[in-house]
Amino acid sequence: MSEFEFTKSTYSSGDAHGECVEVARNIPTTIAVRDSKDMDGPIVRLAPAAWAAFVALTRVTR
């Protein structure tokens, strides 16, 4: 069992076949990201600063 507590993106369509990611932020030194369709698949682990930079670069202005 993973120590990470994953949550699905709020942008998820809810479609079981959609492309979704899950993110875990419960470990202070690590942000974990995985494909929601492959819960037993690989987990990408990032430093919080790297995750913050990624999120900042992907934000869409409205």
pLDDT of 18 > 90? The answer is no
Among the listed residues 22, 24, 29, 27, the one whose alpha carbon sits nearest the alpha carbon of residue 49: 29
> Taking a C-beta distance cutoff of 8 angstroms, is the pair 20, 42 a contact?
no
pTM of the entire structure? Answer: 0.78
Q: What is the DSSP letter of 47?
A: -
| 35-45: pLDDT as tens digits | 988 889 999 99
Q: What is the pLDDT of residue 48?
A: 96
E-strand stretches of 1-62:
6-8, 21-27, 30-35, 44-46
Over range 23-49, report the average pLDDT: 94
| Mean pLDDT to the nearest integer, 47-57 | 93
| AA letter at 57 | L
